[in-house]
Amino acid sequence: MSYTRELISKTKKESPVELRLETSQLIDLTTECLIIGVPDTDSVEPTRTELDTLIVELIESGDFKPSNGSTLVLRLQNSLSAKRLVLLGLGKPENFDALAQNEAFSGLGKLLRGLPITDAALHLKSLSNQANSPLGRLGYCIEWAQYEYTATKSKKDNKGKPEKQLATLAILGTEKQKDEVFNGIILGQGANLTRELGNLPANICTPRYLADQAVQLADRFPKLSCEVFDEDALREIGMHCLLSVSQGSEEPARFIILNYQGAKDVSSKPKVLVGKGVTFDTGGISIKGSAGMDEMKYDMCGAATVMGCMQTISEMDVDANIIGVIAAAENMPSGKATKPGDVVTTLSGKTVEILNTDAEGRLVLCDALTYVERFEPKAVIDIATLTGACLIALGRHNSGLLSTDDALADELIKIGRETGDPCWRLPIEAPYQKLLDSNFADIANIGGRDAGATTAACFLARFTEKYRWAHLDIAGTAWFSGGKAKGASGRPVPLLVSWLIK
């Protein structure tokens, strides 16, 4: 059946980087590393101190070009109490949008990670004197850059790494600015949780492991509770479509609900996130090719995104009711596995002809999307590494967005631009629904080669008619593929957290 873990006490995990508001004058500040932003303008006066003379000389001599993301590290003598000066190029102010900020600040975060320092100071006036205030993004990128995967390594590889690690950031600014940076760090922690879950191998990060992690997350926050349904409970509820995906595996499915009750008005309707949690996807009987199959451990990045978002909004103590739902299963071929041509009944009562067992994401999601009707949600967004077709269509820059609600779609597109976590809308219109017609069931689970991302969303749309809904296909954005770059990205946590708190 199901079980619920009651909340016992509030335990808050502090950021590994501590923030301190600094009241000293810039020239008198004692720090191992002072960071100043330098825009590419005709008149360069980022600090309005004698330091500006040095900065101008470096620019005029060609030793430093303030293009976006450029850096220069100087060891200082007696002119300042700071031991090092880091100049960060911010480019042209008119071009310093969210994507440019991500590039500049992520580069800064990586630089700080590589320096042998325990503390640094951020001169916020120079880092935020552009057209828009990017301080939350600054904190996010610095925290994002500190992430390192070590969970399954026998020992940490310290070759070429400094013995000292950044532990404290002094903030030269206001208390409000400090809070903006700190909220960015909290968001970075959420994205890094998403990355860690995505990067774990599938023999560790199973549906049961995700459920355990969700329970532990709920134990940390008084406003967050967790409920987990095992396979017996899922059969009793009628979630046969979700179970059809897991039936070929030795690993049992889990259905996880994280319920955050933060609104002052307890009757406030929740926003709901639904994450696809296929912890490994072989394709089942419709088995995938072997090339790149190791990356199918990332097929649970929708679920990992929900976890990262729920941690973030709990840490921020957001004034809202938010529910995160995870449908977790492992898709394997065996003598018990679902076969092409099988017909299963969904929680909604609709029947599905499974023409391709590798189109399993929509099967685990459709039951979850039906289940969340009972929450009477303000809006629902599902997040899934759903289709290779979306990756082919949009590449790895934009997440795919499909929605039956124009206002919700427009809102997500706008927030995506603002957060540097963009999405691009694809069509979901009535003519595409015909591609899912079946002779033997109410609906087929694939619609052929044409418009694969759209027909997948059309399938989901049939289970979302009772609320506002959008679908994010993150097949191209949830992880970086191949070689040393391979690893989870943490997207679309920034987009979704911003949507949740607005």
The type of residue at 222 is P
Interatomic CA distance for residues 367 and 382, integer angstroms: 12
Helices 301-316/175-199 angle, 10° precision: 150
Tokens of residue 287, six digits = 């088995």
CB count in 10 Å sphere of residue 119:
17
CA pseudo-torsion sign 124, 125, 129, 133: positive
Sheet holding 351-354, edge to edge: 342-345, 351-354, 443-444
CB 459 within 8 A of CB 443: yes
Interatomic CA distance for residues 219 and 225, integer angstroms: 8
- Extract the runs of DSSP E, i.e. beta strands, from 232-389: 254-261, 271-281, 321-331, 342-345, 351-354, 379-384
Largest CA distance in the chain: 82
**DSSP-based three-state secondary structure for 254:** strand
**DSSP-based three-state secondary structure for 21:** strand
Residue 285 CA from chain centroid, whole number: 30
Instruction: Please name the helix (run of DSSP H) or strand (run of DSSP E) that holds residue 120, with its range, or none.
Output: strand 119-123
Closest CA to 301 of 323, 273, 277: 277
- In the residue annotation, 362 being an active-site residue is answered as yes
Closest CA to 293 of 202, 210, 192: 202
Tokens of residue 366, six digits = 């459709």
Task: For residue 159, give every residue at least 6 positions away whose Cβ sits within 8 Å of its Cβ, in sequence order, or none.
Answer: none
Q: Which entry of 5, 125, 220, 288 is annotated as an active-site residue?
A: 288
Query: β-strands 18-21, 321-331: how paired?
Result: unpaired
Residue located via tokens 């009535």: 430
Query: β-strands 2-5, 224-229: how paired?
Result: antiparallel
Interatomic CA distance for residues 91 and 107, integer angstroms: 14
Q: Which entry of 137, 223, 362, 491 is annotated as an active-site residue?
A: 362
- In the residue annotation, 288 being an active-site residue is answered as yes
Active site residues: 288, 362
